Amino acid sequence: MRWSEFFIRTKREEPAEAEVISHKLMLKAGMVLKVSSGIYTYSPLGLRVIRKVERIVREEMNRAGAIEVLMPVVIPKELWEESGRWNLYGKELLRFKDRGEKWLCLGPTHEEVITDFARREIRSYRDLPKNFYQIHTKFRDEIRPRFGLMRAREFIMKDAYSFDADEKGAERSYEIMYETYTRIFERCGLKMRAVEAETGTIGGKFSHEFMVLADTGEEVILFCEKCSYSANRERAETVEGGLPPVREETSRSPEMVPTPDTKTVEEVSRFLNIPKERIIKSLVYYLDGKPALVLVRGDMEANEAKIKRWVNVNDVRLADEKEIVELTGAEKGFIGPVGSSLRILVDWSVLSVKDGACGANKNDYHFVHVLPGRDFPLKLVGDFRFAVEGDICPKCKKGKLRGTRGIEVGHTFKLGTKYSEPMNAKFLDRDGVEKFMVMGCYGIGIGRTACAAIEQGHDEKGIIFPVSLAPFETVVLPVNAGESEQVSTAERIYRELLDFRVDAIIDDRDERIGVKLNDADLIGIAMKVIVGKKVKEGKVEIKTRDGRINAEVNIGECAEKVSEIKKEMEK
């Protein structure tokens, strides 16, 4: 490619609207242009990076035996009604009517369409297993689109769906994808961690989020300082007895004390002058429509996904103010387990409270000197809260959990028969019996992966892409466009680089070298060949963007050397 013929529009000014570095640098490099909130045009330069991510993903998916398909962006309501998601999906699903008054939606994900494809085209166990994937546009009407391509409304995703004859096969398919994802993100040069994620109603240990470690990540990951355990904040488990007793066991009986207008844990803590760790927080939930009291320690937070899993219900919601008064006789902030007739779920953290305070089910009153087990029953005790830094590792039971931030670039999920059952996707098994196909689904955000690479690789000059994602692998720069020897040498090296299959660009603009270097560094070209005065001695300079290599080579050996460095960097 020749710079003068290509289309690169770098910006001098700092983009004001960008909050994170990847967004800022993508705008500055002129890779994306905002059309509307969360909706972007990829410039020719930005598209090059996107295509490079796609190429790695495609190569590795093919290598894993997955087969590429292409599904429609526009999906009829009927399919989404079959799975039950037309009503469940919420506002991220953009719905509209066509001229015949038929409801349609823009696909935010494609389980329904692929399950429909499979039930019509897969007949027998001989057709299984199969894994279909596509790399295509998705639309989600995100409530807060932000950070450029990181959380867009229209974005490109690789989504794959595996179909197996039984559970065992599905687990194997899952493992293959897990390994494939590891390879993909390695080739993208990313520091990554696969963490256990919440599986919702499916259950089991088969959901992972692939997190790129970055301070700007939206997700909190907890990992063990001693063993390999890592999970996202929602999923991370806590252990029974993981928190030491906060204080000696009280021998006094509960005492009701006035606490006027103190509703929050902070207010109670201040008013009674006791730490949050000695307060028992009581929340009224409806579990599949039935009320229950959930208790967690004052400094902890209740975790609805865990509650769902432990008591095996589908629907968990907090009671509203009116319902709370009806059920407990007191307003929110003054409710508690002592004397309560509600079913009580006690988080393990509460057991560390040996002399606590809780609401008295009477407005403006709390109990003090409360002892769990003595003053309220411990019938249903378990893990109902979010884990925090410092919690004991649930796997090795020795190390403590530490926190770090991450960007979720990929997600793998075992679906079981969640879609095949309601959509009646069956096959004829070896034993002559019709069975539901067992499914898995696997997503990678293509644009988000490019953003994550920038979050991990940048400096004050701009983007430092790994060579595998750089918009160009090498730029050839004649220092003085007026020196014919420099120009002709640069042209020669450029041609030779193409012969070596290096994705090269020659900066043939009539610009000062400073401008050219700045542009090359800003957009993240992985290597530079600088053709300057030393041409007279038969030498040129090779520099890598990551600063690791800065070498002088003979003109005749330059292209080969660049190609070697490239292979070395790809490892």
Note the residues at the interface with ligand ATP (CB under 6 A): 109, 140, 142, 151-152, 155, 157, 408-411, 443, 445, 447-448
Neighbours of 430 (CB within 10 A): 10
Rounded Cα gap, residues 81 and 96, in angstroms? 15
Q: Report angle CA 7, 8, 11 to the nearest 5 degrees.
A: 145
Closest alpha carbon to 213 in 194, 188, 236 = 194
Closest separation in Å from C-beta 151 to ligand ATP: 4
Closest separation in Å from C-beta 448 to ligand ATP: 4
Residues 160, 57 contacting (CB under 8 angstroms): no
Shorter beta-carbon distance to ligand ATP: residue 66 or 562? 66
Shorter beta-carbon distance to ligand ATP: residue 181 or 367? 181
Q: What is the DSSP string of 16-47?
A: TT--SHHHHHHHHTT-EEEEETTEEEEPHHHH
Residues 526, 566 contacting (CB under 8 angstroms): yes
State the residue for tokens 């546009």. 137
Shorter beta-carbon distance to ligand ATP: residue 160 or 350? 160
Closest separation in Å from C-beta 157 to ligand ATP: 5
Side chain identity at 192, as an amino acid letter?
M
Shorter beta-carbon distance to ligand ATP: residue 151 or 418? 151
Shorter beta-carbon distance to ligand ATP: residue 412 or 474? 412
Closest separation in Å from C-beta 387 to ligand ATP: 18
Closest separation in Å from C-beta 460 to ligand ATP: 27
Closest separation in Å from C-beta 407 to ligand ATP: 8
Closest separation in Å from C-beta 169 to ligand ATP: 22
Shorter beta-carbon distance to ligand ATP: residue 113 or 157? 157
- Helix (DSSP H) and strand (DSSP E) numbers for the chain: 13, 31
Closest separation in Å from C-beta 408 to ligand ATP: 5
Taking the CA atoms of 392, 396, 399 and 402 in sequence, report the sign of the dihedral they define.
negative
Closest separation in Å from C-beta 51 to ligand ATP: 17
Closest separation in Å from C-beta 264 to ligand ATP: 29
Q: What is the DSSP string of 408-471?
A: EEEEEEEEETTTTTTTT-EEE-TTS-EEEPEEEEEEEEHHHHHHHHHHHSEETTEE---TTT-S
Residues 414, 174 contacting (CB under 8 angstroms): yes
State the residue for tokens 């918009």. 471
Closest alpha carbon to 481 in 458, 501, 511 = 511
Shorter beta-carbon distance to ligand ATP: residue 198 or 521? 198
Whole-angstrom Cα Rg for the chain:
29
Closest separation in Å from C-beta 450 to ligand ATP: 10
State the residue for tokens 């290599």. 549
Taking the CA atoms of 45, 47, 53 and 54 in sequence, report the sign of the dihedral they define.
negative
State the residue for tokens 């779920």. 345
Shorter beta-carbon distance to ligand ATP: residue 137 or 253? 137
Q: Is 157 exposed, middle or buried (0-12, 13-18, 19+ CB in 10 A)?
A: buried
Closest separation in Å from C-beta 525 to ligand ATP: 25
Shorter beta-carbon distance to ligand ATP: residue 243 or 409? 409
Closest separation in Å from C-beta 171 to ligand ATP: 19
Q: In what order do the strands lie in the sheet with 356-359?
A: 255-258, 365-370, 356-359
Closest separation in Å from C-beta 109 to ligand ATP: 6
Shorter beta-carbon distance to ligand ATP: residue 281 or 448? 448
Identify the H or E element spanning 74: strand 74-76
State the residue for tokens 């968990």. 316
Shorter beta-carbon distance to ligand ATP: residue 155 or 384? 155
Q: Which residue is nearest to ligand ATP (CB)?
A: 445
Shorter beta-carbon distance to ligand ATP: residue 410 or 478? 410
Shorter beta-carbon distance to ligand ATP: residue 445 or 457? 445
Rounded Cα gap, residues 567 and 340, in angstroms? 69
Shorter beta-carbon distance to ligand ATP: residue 217 or 359? 217
Rounded Cα gap, residues 571 and 568, in angstroms? 6
Q: Which residues are bridge partners to 191 per DSSP?
A: none
In sequence order, what E strands does 85-189 have?
95-97, 103-106, 130-139, 154-164
State the residue for tokens 């309560």. 340
Shorter beta-carbon distance to ligand ATP: residue 372 or 443? 443
Q: How many residues does the chain have?
A: 571
Closest separation in Å from C-beta 188 to ligand ATP: 12
Closest alpha carbon to 89 in 65, 64, 102, 106 = 106
Residues 217, 406 contacting (CB under 8 angstroms): yes
Phi and psi for 368 in degrees, rounded to 5?
Answer: -120, 170
